[in-house]
Amino acid sequence: MVNLIIDNRSVTVEDGTTILDAARKINIKIPTLCYLDLGKLKMLNKVSSCRICSVEVEGRRNLAPSCSTPVTEGMKVKTNSKRVLFARRKILELLLSNHPFDCLLCSKSTDCELQSLAVEFGIETQHYHGEKSSFPIDISSRALRRDPEKCIMCRRCETMCNEVQTVKALTAFGRGFNTVVAPAEMQPLVNSNCVYCGQCVSVCPTGALTGVGYIKETWAALFDPTKTVVVQVAPAIRAAIGEEFGIAEGVPVTGKLAAGLRRLGFNAVFDTTFGADLTIMEEAREIVERVTKNKNLPILTSCCPGWINFLEFHFPDLKYMPSTSKSPHQMMGTVIKTFYARKLGVQPSDVVVVSVMPCIAKKYEAAQPEHETGGVRDVDYVITTRELAKMFKEGGIDLRYMDDEDFDDPLGESTGAGVIFGATGGVLEAALRTVYEEVTGKTLDNVNFEAIRGLNGVKEAAIDLNGRIVRVAAASGLGNVRQILEKIQEGSSQYDVIEIMACPGGCVNGGGQPFCEDREERIEKRMKALYSIDSNAEIRKSHENPSIKKLYAEFFGEPGSEKAHELLHTEYWM
């Protein structure tokens, strides 16, 4: 243990602790910008590039960055001396001198950490003037928007992309005044190996990285009398969007969400958990078939487009392993444009499907040519949780004061199994509930698979299917996924079924979810919200959903049928 004094207060911490963490232990606030610690999510950025956290250490000539300076015995630190405050203000003013002043038009406004610090330090005038860095905005991917002029070189995105997700799409490029974090050789994102997981967006303190927005397009569709505009909402949305309206973290707002969407003017409001149940019907059939034949194992889940992009870019030799089932929202889009459009008596081209997703990769997925039926896109626009919250506020809708309403039929009824898709391990757990009963012919009384729940990067379990022990795992965060896929390549993996999610923690931590500082705690609360909905659900197994049964009876025939393959399955191209 090490003893030191910070602002005339004594504190004892473990050897190796930084000054920043020691100060936080005694509730002394030191401002940060480039620093970020996400705890269990294993994201730690302390490159000391911004120096906003600089402090004065007795006996040292230069100010020290508190985020990366370890404590020493007897150290005396001042965090708010005249010298420290003057240096921080100058650093902020220099950062602002090379930053666009378009706060009113920036999608990160009010969520921007640079903006917040400028307010806290009372910076009201621009003291430094001169040349500014100039780079073009990149929206080539139709999913992720990169505005290098707003980059402050904190390098959080680089740490997230390279060390946590191991995608390695971003790097520091250039030298001196024109240094910026970008894809190699400043290539457009669409020409890089970016998988659009959006985790870079979730840690960017400014508006340098955001999702490509589709709010204007959605409003235009809603106001077009020639279009039937249908919305679907992913499971993770109900566990997070309330945060944007002052509702306590971890409080699900399912009914309020459905009511709010109707007030916006959507012609039909559906729940993507129905699509999740449909996914289980198709994916469970594949699992049973492969496990029974002991062929092409392990089978990998295919609900997450970010992870599928990762597979296609980094492990193309394993492209035969994932389930060919489309993701739930793409299945829903297909069913809406075919089955539902036919029931309404309208042409698929006159139906606009809007998906509300916690994910930026869904934007990229929906734009791909393989996700079209008869030349018509399955999903027209994908908006994130944050975008929907902005639409609600623009439309004068406050979720706190919405009465609960149900989703529409015939695609609104869903199960608890579909809801837990939003948390890491949820897809696998939902699949096992159906697989067990299909293989054994027995009723699964305890449907909770606790071993594959939680924030750990890799969780595993074993299930007995009539004497065949099936080993399963759930992995979230692409760094963890890489380790598993490398074991598969080596032939050392012993798993039969693996669920994979690109974002650490699953969809509840998607790149389109509300921004928050207490990330780890917030994600756990969102997870608990989904599991509480599941535990209280009347039906907790996808194959018991009456509306799913009716859909197969009227339209698809059975899971894996020719029509099901045509509309609900896809291929991997690379």
CATH number for the domain that contains residue 11: 3.10.20.740
Coil, helix or strand at residue 111: coil
Same domain for 225 and 155: no
Coil, helix or strand at residue 266: coil
Looking up residue 110, the CATH number of its domain turns out to be 3.30.70.20
Structural domain boundaries, residue 46: 2-80
555 in a domain, yes or no?
yes
Q: Which position among 56, 283, 429, 524 bears the catalytic label?
A: 283
The reply to whether 283 belongs to the active site is yes
Encoded tokens for 124: 């009201």
Encoded tokens for 382: 């994908």
Coil, helix or strand at residue 451: helix
Cβ atoms of 113 and 335 within 8 Å: the answer is no
Same domain for 487 and 423: yes
Could you tell me which residues come within 8 angstroms of residue 155 by beta carbon, excluding any fewer than 6 positions away? 34, 45, 47, 49, 172, 181
The reply to whether 67 belongs to the active site is no
Same domain for 369 and 265: yes
Q: Which position among 158, 244, 249, 286 bears the catalytic label?
A: 286
Encoded tokens for 547: 């509306």
Same domain for 330 and 220: yes
Same domain for 261 and 231: yes
Q: Which position among 48, 66, 192, 323 bears the catalytic label?
A: 323
86 in a domain, yes or no?
no
Coil, helix or strand at residue 384: strand
90 in a domain, yes or no?
no
41 in a domain, yes or no?
yes
Residue 559 has a pLDDT of 95
pTM over 0.85: yes
347 in a domain, yes or no?
yes
Residue 488 has a pLDDT of 93
For 406-442, the pLDDT digits (tens) are 999 888 888 999 999 999 999 999 999 999 999 999 9
The reply to whether 158 belongs to the active site is no
Domain boundary pick from 143, 176, 211: 211
Same domain for 223 and 172: no
Residue 369 has a pLDDT of 87
Q: Which position among 53, 67, 359, 507 bears the catalytic label?
A: 507
The reply to whether 124 belongs to the active site is no
Q: Which position among 365, 387, 520, 524 bears the catalytic label?
A: 365
The reply to whether 362 belongs to the active site is yes
The reply to whether 370 belongs to the active site is yes
Domain boundary pick from 25, 47, 80: 80
Same domain for 258 and 394: yes
3-state helix, strand, coil in the chain (%, to 5): 45, 15, 40
For 181-207, the pLDDT digits (tens) are 999 888 999 999 999 999 999 999 999
Give the separation between CA 139 and CA 363, rounded to whole angstroms.
12
206 in a domain, yes or no?
yes
Same domain for 291 and 193: no
Residue 573 has a pLDDT of 61
Among 138, 155, 90, CA closest to 118: 90
Q: Which position among 14, 370, 394, 486 bears the catalytic label?
A: 370
The whole-number mean pLDDT for each consecutive block of 10 residues of the chain, a chain of 574 residues, reads 95 95 95 90 87 95 95 96 95 92 89 93 86 90 93 94 94 83 89 95 95 96 97 97 95 96 97 97 96 92 94 92 95 96 95 97 92 90 97 97 94 92 96 95 94 93 93 96 94 93 96 90 95 96 96 95 94 66
The reply to whether 107 belongs to the active site is no
Same domain for 523 and 382: yes
Could you tell me which residues come within 8 angstroms of residue 348 by beta carbon, excluding any fewer than 6 positions away? 337, 338, 341, 373, 374, 376
92 in a domain, yes or no?
no
Domain boundary pick from 172, 188, 211: 211
Same domain for 202 and 265: no
Residue 46 has a pLDDT of 86
The reply to whether 286 belongs to the active site is yes
Same domain for 396 and 431: yes
Give the separation between CA 392 and CA 157, rounded to whole angstroms.
29
The tally of domains found in the chain comes to 3
85 in a domain, yes or no?
no
Same domain for 488 and 439: yes
Residue 574 has a pLDDT of 46
Looking up residue 454, the CATH number of its domain turns out to be 3.40.50.1780
